């Protein structure tokens, strides 16, 4: 499908999807917004919120209806993420990492694996994430050191993974490992394994500047044994391709998070500028503030459109890493820009936890780092353009 045809795809969502979005907005208003400050300030995991998201079906948002999921398009899913992130960005991470794991299983798992795991993933009975990053390896995943050796019945895993969402509160992780350290290029020796927490891995919660409330951990694997059938796919050596495929959806998610956070920063700034007065008039009447609001709004709208185009490309089934990379790059930089401008518009009040601005300011930098740094996105975009 070419770009011209893609651009003509109708972005109108179904009535059922509208009902889902409406239900989520009500949930955010009633069950999330009143509790954000409490959970965020104490860095406390929002268990009740996570459980209610499971009731709403968010843990199966993009899982096929054949396995009990909602089967939502990436377009609708990105709208959900935007709305959630405009209230509390951390909450979107709980189901994003989970759904990347689910996408890997649904695309590449055996029928037996899909039939066993996906219904449990969709209901939230089993919740998890992806374990890729290591203390000495982030963007360059081919340099991972975590190894899995096998005998006739089991894999034995040794190594350390870090910055892993849902590793503390979750039940299972899709772990990227080296099953063959001798082969070249290195990615041919990498595989993706499903590992349950009760099979022996030990998580440790990490402290963070922002993105608080959600559990982010470091995981130690020391002679952790899992059955051979926990390999995702039918053969070893496909792990990197499998997880990179899932990260296309992950980058659309992060772009949508950027849109949501940028929107929240703009909305709060508009409201504040209409009530805050200097020199006898609202600061919204000052040209310097108007210029800031105009640029924030323009960048926000461009970010939203890029994210929608990436979601359309993903839904078409074609390779979408170029569109996802562009959306992730621009939307997350917009979140950084808008949160900084919001801080300036709010002045000293923006620096106080009485307002949400300081939270936006702390949360935004993660978006430029997570799911591949923005520096990496530029390289991906350039390579695709050259090809």
- Residue 168 makes CB contacts below 8 A (sequence gap 6+) with 45, 203, 204, 205, 215, 216, 217
What would the DSSP string read from start to end of 115-182? HHHHHHHHHTSS-EEEE--BTTBSS-GGG---EEEE-SSEEEEEEEEEEEETTTT-SEEEEEEES-SS
Contact present, 158 and 222 (Cβ < 8 Å): yes
Distance CA 201, CA 353 (A): 36
The Cβ of residue 186 has, within 10 Å, a number of other Cβ atoms equal to 17
Cα 244 to the chain's mean position, in Å?
Answer: 14
Q: Are 52 and 282 in contact (CB under 8 A)?
A: no
Q: Is 371 labeled as catalytic in the residue annotation?
A: yes
Catalytic position from the list 271, 371, 375, 387: 371
Cβ density class 37-47: b for 16+ within 10 Å, e for less: eebbeeeebbe
Question: CA quadruple 34, 38, 40, 45: dihedral positive or negative?
Answer: negative
* 365 to 191, 331, 374, 386: CA distances (angstroms): 30, 12, 11, 29
- Here the tokens at position 210 are 């922002």
Tell me if 157 sits within 8 A of 89, measured CB to CB.
no
- For residues 1-29, one letter each, b for 16 or more C-beta atoms within 10 angstroms of the residue's C-beta and e for the rest, the string is eeeeebeebeeeeeeebeebbeebeebbe
Tokens of 188: 């041919």
Query: What residues are labeled active site?
Result: 371
């Amino acid at each position: 499908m070419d770009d011209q045809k893609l651009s003509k795809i109708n972005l109108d969502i179904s009535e059922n999807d509208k009902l889902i979005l409406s239900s989520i907005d009500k949930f955010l208003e009633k069950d999330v917004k009143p509790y954000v400050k409490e959970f965020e300030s104490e860095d406390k995991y929002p268990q009740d919120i996570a459980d209610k998201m499971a009731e709403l079906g968010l843990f199966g948002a993009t899982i096929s209806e054949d396995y009990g999921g909602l089967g939502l398009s990436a377009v609708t899913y990105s709208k959900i993420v935007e709305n959630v992130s405009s209230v509390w960005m951390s909450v979107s991470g709980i189901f994003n990492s989970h759904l990347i794991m689910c996408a890997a299983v649904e695309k590449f798992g055996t029928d037996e694996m899909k039939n066993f795991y996906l219904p449990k993933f969709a209901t939230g009975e089993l919740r998890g994430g992806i374990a890729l990053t290591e203390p000495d390896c982030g963007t360059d995943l081919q340099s991972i050191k975590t190894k899995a050796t096998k005998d006739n019945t089991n894999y034995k895993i040794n190594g350390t993974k870090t910055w892993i969402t849902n590793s503390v509160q979750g039940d299972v992780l899709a772990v990227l490992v080296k099953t063959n350290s001798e082969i070249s290029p290195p990615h041919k020796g990498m595989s993706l394994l499903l590992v349950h927490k009760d099979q022996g891995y030990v998580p440790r919660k990490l402290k963070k500047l922002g993105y608080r409330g959600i559990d982010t951990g470091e995981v130690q694997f020391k002679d952790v044994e899992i059955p051979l059938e926990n390999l995702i796919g039918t053969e070893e050596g496909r792990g990197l391709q499998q997880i990179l495929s899932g990260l296309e959806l992950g980058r659309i998610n992060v772009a949508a998070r950027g849109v949501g956070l940028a929107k929240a920063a703009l909305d709060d700034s508009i409201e504040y500028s209409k009530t805050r007065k200097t020199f006898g008039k609202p600061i919204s009447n000052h040209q310097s503030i108007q210029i800031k609001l105009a640029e924030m709004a323009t960048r926000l709208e461009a970010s939203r459109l890029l994210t929608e185009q990436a979601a359309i490309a993903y839904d078409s089934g074609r390779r979408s890493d170029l569109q996802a990379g562009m959306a992730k790059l621009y939307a997350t930089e917009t979140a950084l820009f808008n949160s900084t401008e919001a801080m300036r518009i709010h002045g000293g009040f923006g620096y106080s936890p009485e307002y949400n601005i300081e939270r936006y300011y702390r949360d935004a930098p993660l978006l430029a780092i997570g799911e591949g740094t923005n520096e990496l996105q530029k390289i991906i975009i350039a390579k695709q353009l050259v090809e």
